Amino acid sequence: DIKTQTESSSEAVSVTVIPTSVSPTRDLHFHLIHFNLNVKLTVTPEKVTTIFGQSTVEFECVKATDLILIHSNKLNYTTLDNKHIARLIASGDGSTPSIKSSWLHLKTQYLVIQLNGKLSRGRYQLYTEFTGELADDLAGLYRSEYEEEGVRKIVATSQMHPTHARKTFPCFDEPAMKAVFYITLIHPIGTVALSNVCLNVSFSDIFNTTIDGVAVTQTKFEPTKKMSTYLLAIIVSDYTHLYATQGDVIRIWGRRAAIEQGQGNYALNVTGPVLDFFQSYYNISYPLSKSDQIALPDFYFGAMENWGLVTYRETNLLYDPVTSSIRNKETTATIIAHELAHMWFGNLVTLRWWNEVWLNEGFASYVSYLGADHAEPTWSVKDLILLDDVHRVFSVDALVSSHPLSSKEDSIILPDQISEQFDVISYSKVHRHQKDLILKLFKSSFFFLQGYLNHFAYSNMIGNDLWQHLEMAVEANNVSLPHPVYDIMNRWVLQMGFPVVTIDTSTGKVSQKHFLLDPESNVTLKSPYNYEWLIPVRWMKSGVVQRNIWWLMEKEVVNVDMKSGSSWVLANINVTGYYRVNYDLGNWERLLSQVALILFSVAQLVSTNLALRTTSYLLVETEYIPWQSALNNLDYYYLMLDRTEVYQPMQDYMKKLVTPLFLHFKNITSEWTHVPDRLTDQYNQVNAIRMACTTGVTECQKLTTTWFKQWMDRPQHNLIHPNLRSAVYCSAMAAGDEAEWEFGWSQLKNATVASEASKLMSALACSNNTYLSYTLNPAMIRKQDATSVITSVASNRVGQGLAWDFVREQWEYMFTQYGVGSFSFASMISGVTARFSTTAELQQLKEFEREHSAAGFGSATLALQQALERTTANINWLQQNKQEVLDWFNSQTGQEMH
């Protein structure tokens, strides 16, 4: 029930709203036809005014109703001549019932319009006039500020995803309610207005006037394609751009100084090849006539796939060849590929509701590597999927507080619940789901994606629609599967977590079990499949890959071929399946080079000693992927033990391991004067310096402090190679004092390249001089960066406690005053609690939950539950393993490692 006050009566009115009619998506009272949106913006450097808007939504009523629910949030409505804040008009000669009352329901963010009678079938228009603040909250239509040549400038820009279009204008703000948008912007003369589509060149109405003393003009855009509200983009700025014509117009927009310095060149060069790749991959032409991409000084997300006008943080779109690193360059390529992949998979064909975010994000995450690989074939970025995505998602999905990829529609209703869905599970889990199976089907049916995208173009779909089209590919190409596609895939989509497959090579027995980080934790979320999976196992014996995929379809079976004797067995080759594999001790002994053992020790499936022994091979290893895999897994040991007596023996051991790697890169780079050729070697050179300095290799520490001092002596001449700056800055800040910190802060404030500013921002947290309080002052730290600063401080063993105290003290202020568009509350909770491993910290976390339960935790609700679960698991692990780990590291000190 929605209970509120009417305008004419002091009595509470109860309006019954059944779940199916709360959202037009499920009930389909209305079919949208188009939105007319007229927005006036009078933005000057001296004055920021409110937004003035006029909105007309035309819809078709397909089911009689006396209640209209349209989303609205933080808008102030003008009372019209009918004495109400909305006017309902029938198209043609029809009539409409009058409006009885209207009110705003804050929790669901609805403008509720109660009618005196029922709407009959037909077309109608709903007209409103409203104002809103052009705030700096990074949500809806908001302002972003920057300084250029001493002049303060403002960009009016937008972030509608996932539920912020309603903050810009009243709308049916749901992905299934697609419409055509007619956008007109009134903006200051001298600024440029951008939206999803091109300007309407046939529009000839000259409009020049003044509003609040500001001379303004009018820009009218072509009608958009039929699309969802969350993909709408509106931007007014004095930016300039680069462009190229490659079938369609490609433009890169940014601050004038950044574009003139060439920071947009790489993005322009990479966009064309990526678009060409996806047009070929999907076998469908790019759906729009232009592709704009724009870099914003203030932006909550990394990027947003608005159809035809993609928005980015500056660090993710702009690349400066003088100061940006190869990692920055790879990030630009892969994020551009991710966003452009959405132009088809997400924008042309869209999920029906937010309970299946993976339909948009998971596929785009996977094919982004393919698009980037096409644009930069020498990088072999496809090899990085395992490190960048799989390791991240495994750690979260091993918790009982994880969640399935798909949930019930009616379980995801409120905006905070929607925001929670955009986590590592939705982005990174799906493209590991039975990669062997899906790729096999994609390759076997050239027209699969084309047929699927054409069938649902300008419409919406659910997960089962994807499985039906995959099943069609199976049947058309005579692909042999043990079960129908939906039966295989639903077990991975409708169940949280993943299995561990245990192979006993002495008997051939193979079993599966739900993998949990804490095996003693209690799984309360029921599964429709009792946490059993249909598992494709690609495996090899003694280096020979078995020809066919073997399917594990029961809890426990015997595969006599896996009874190996003295031979070794390796399953889930290249981690193409979304599961872990464990073996009997004899087979593990034969596979000691496999770094993945470390995680099994955390989950108490193998002994800690056996897991740690696998790291000894790093002494002679120089390749990036093995090193990074080991460091990812050893990170847990550091988090648990770097505040205990185990820390120094562990540091001594790691120092021994990394010293040969440090000397290797010193040698192949001719005393650090050259850059390695391969992308992965450049990445591992960074690992070598970072780990050598943090573990106390004297030569490394002298090297980084010398480089940094040379820069301090000549601030205009930074000779530190961009690839190495993050590691060098951090090392020098950690070893330095206030002078180094103040120099780093001054360089941050004067940085003109966003990627350089980002490196300095992280490095400042490596010092004992924390700057947590700056995150509450946007003039010191931009709102978009506040969360990353807090988590960077927390990642420093000295700063972790300070960051946790700061979050506890400032939570209410941050949560109520900054809001969803400024802080990533989920990542902040995860970051500041990552080291929690004592009963005292668990108690503090419970008290924090209790103290703020009334206000709630918004999009961090799930992250808080995961923090509680992780802390409990960490306490148990530490109690059981700390002494054994200490003894093992002590046993390595002064000994030759094998």
On whether 148 is known to bind a ligand per the annotation, the reply is no
As given in the structure block, the two tokens for residue 317 are 């779109």
- The DSSP line for 96-127 is -PPEEEEEEETTTTEEEEEEEEEEPSEEEEEE
Judge contact between 657 and 697, C-beta under 8 A.
no
DSSP-derived pairing of the beta strands 110-119 and 99-105: antiparallel
Distance CA 762, CA 408 (A): 39
338 is in an annotated binding site: yes
Residue type, 68: I
Contact 640, 677 (CB under 8 A): no
Task: Please state, in angstroms and rounded to a whole number, the distance separating the CA atoms of residues 355 and 425.
Answer: 12
* CA nearest to 762, candidates 785, 783, 739, 737: 785
- Which residues fall within 8 angstroms of residue 144, CB to CB, at 6 or more apart? 136, 154, 155, 157, 296, 297, 298, 299
> What is the number of other CB atoms lying within 10 angstroms of the CB of residue 42?
22
Sheet holding 290-296, edge to edge: 240-246, 248-254, 290-296, 309-313, 303-304
**Tokens (6 digits) for 633:** 């897994």
**Relative orientation angle of helices 624-641 and 647-668, to the nearest 10 degrees:** 160
Q: Which two tokens stand for residue 40?
A: 């006036």
Catalytic residue check, 738: no
In DSSP notation, 375-395 reads HSTTS-GGGGHIIIIIHHHHH
Between CA 579 and CA 139, with CA 463 as vertex, the angle to 5 degrees is 95
Under 8 Å between Cβ of 234 and 222: no
Among 560, 543, 582, 571, smallest CA distance to 506 is for 560
Structure tokens at 223: 């009608």
Q: Is position 29 annotated in a ligand binding site?
A: no
User: Cβ distance 496 to 525 under 8 Å?
Assistant: yes
Chain centroid to CA 326: 21
DSSP 74: S
Residue 552 amino acid letter? L
Contact by Cβ (8 Å): 857, 825? yes
Catalytic one of 58, 222, 339, 420: 339
Q: How many Cβ atoms sit within 10 Å of the Cβ of residue 585? A: 12
According to the 3-state scheme, what is the secondary structure of 814-868? HHHHHCCCCCCHHHHHHHHCCCCCCHHHHHHHHHHHHHCCCCCCHHHHHHHHHHH
Candidates 599, 603, 625, 624; CA nearest to 614 is 599
Annotated binding site for Zn(2+): 338, 342, 361
Show which residues are catalytic. Answer: 339
